[in-house]
Amino acid sequence: MGNTLKFKQSEKTMDVLRTHFASFLTELSQSAPEKSFIIVIDDVNGLSQTQDFANWYKSLADTLALTDHYGKTKVAFILTSYPDKLNKLHEHNPSFSRIFHHYDLPELNEDEIREFYMENFELAQIKIDNQSLYLMNYYCSGMPTMIRK
């Protein structure tokens, strides 16, 4: 379905990547012109503690909007977090919020939660009884974060 990239590189390599990420995305898009990319940055809670990420991300968005990159980079970013953590990023860089379309996701309903658990337990070939399913559904309260605990 997708790929996950994890880097454990030297600080110098990470600095180059941070500095030239827009160019990297443009080259990646041009090497596969029929493809587009979605980059999901899940759970930005730790990133919201300092202004480094807010400034870097705003700079990246501004760079991608420039002539050298505009229309050449087919990428969408999705940042997921709790509202208070995203507000913290806005506090670090007030321009940060202007580059987003904000979507609040509703809580999952009981049927969606039940389906999630049943599919995942089935994938793991684990049988689950109705009482256990009921309790997991009840205690997660529709919150995706609680579902995966």
**pLDDT tens-digit readout, 57-105:** 888 988 888 877 888 888 888 888 888 888 888 899 888 888 887 777 7
Within a domain: 65: yes
H-state helical runs in 34-129: 51-64, 83-92, 110-123
**Boundaries of domain holding 24:** 11-99
Whether residue 124 sits in one domain with residue 73: no
**What number is the average pLDDT over the span 35-51?**
83
Q: Is the CB of residue 107 less than 8 Å from the CB of residue 137? A: no
Q: Which pTM does this prediction carry?
A: 0.66
Whether residue 124 sits in one domain with residue 77: no
Whether residue 90 sits in one domain with residue 50: yes
Whether residue 121 sits in one domain with residue 77: no
CA-CA distance, 64 to 69, in Å (whole number)? 5
Whether residue 68 sits in one domain with residue 47: yes
Q: What is the pLDDT of residues 118-127, one digit of tens each?
A: 998 999 999 9
